[in-house]
Amino acid sequence: LPAGGVSLRLCSTRVTLEGINKPVIDRIIRVDHAGEYGANRIYAGQMAVLGRSSVGPIIQQMWNQEKDHLKKFNELMVAYRVRPTVLLPFWNVAGFVLGAGSALLGKKGAMACTVAVEESISDHYNSQIRTLMEEDPEKYKELLQIIKQFRDDEREHHDIGLEHDAEAAPAYSVLKTAIQLGCKAAIFLSERI
């Protein structure tokens, strides 16, 4: 049985995931899984460049938290029988390139990337929380708890990024806007494909 008290019968045909709004939950889990996967790759890229610098340990710590998030979504994906997005191999490369690229702009560049991405992700989690609350807070209690927790973690990463002079990065506002646009596109695609 999956972690937590999710009431469903595993390994039966999908109609027996009783009473949940399958299309909505499908999308939520698929896009969140893709997001955490991408975040993992971004931090991996940043570590590849800045691993041995002074911000290495901070990035490593944030990366470890993202790894936990991904693990959780892997479990949820199996439990709810959700298919992953086809674009995973693409996010694999794109995430790493974004992380490494922003890190090549220096420590502040990496932090700026972190701020941009984490802000996007927390906004995205917030809107998912709203959706689930509108649907049925009781039925989706466990999922809501998880998303709220992760949203708080991402906010924390965002604040850490700001503390480490993200705003002093070269072309901060341009960088931030571009990255957030990319995140919006990634979210849109991963929900559907």
Please list every residue from 63 through 102 that binds another protein, using CB under 8 A.
73-74, 77-78, 81, 83-84, 86, 88-89
Q: How many CA atoms lie within 13 A of 193 on its CB side?
A: 11
Which residue, 86 or 133, has its beta carbon nearer to another protein? 86
Residues 105-144 interacting with another protein (rule: CB under 8 A): none
Using the minimum distance from each CB to another protein, give the nearer residue, 84 or 182. 84
192: contact with another protein by CB under 8 A: no
The reply on whether position 14 binds another protein by CB under 8 A is yes
What number of chain residues touch another protein (CB under 8 A)? 16
Q: DSSP for 51-98, please give it.
A: TTSTTHHHHHHHHHHHHHHHHHHHHHHHHTTPPPPTTHHHHHHHHHHH
Residue pointed to by tokens 């209690």: 141
Of the candidate spans 10-18, 102-110, 137-145, 163-171, the one that interacts with another protein by CB under 8 A turns out to be 10-18
We find the least distance from the C-beta atom of residue 133 to another protein, in angstroms, to be 26
Contact between 76 and 2 (Cβ < 8 Å): yes
**56 counts as binding another protein under rule CB under 8 A:** no
For the record, the structure tokens of 184 come out as 């919006």
AA identity, residue 187: I
- Nearest approach in angstroms of CB 43 to another protein is 17
The angle formed by the CA atoms of residues 112, 113 and 118, to the nearest 5 degrees, is 100
Burial of 147 (0-12, 13-18, 19+ CB in 10 A): buried
Query: Nearer Cβ to another protein, position 27 or 155?
Result: 27
Pick between residue 78 and residue 185 the one whose CB is nearest to another protein: 78
Residue 13 beta carbon to another protein: minimum distance, rounded to whole angstroms: 5
- Which 27-46 residues touch another protein, going by CB under 8 A? 33
What is the total residue count of the chain?
193
Phi and psi torsions of 58, nearest 5°: -65, -50
Interacting residues toward another protein by CB under 8 A: 11-15, 33, 73-74, 77-78, 81, 83-84, 86, 88-89
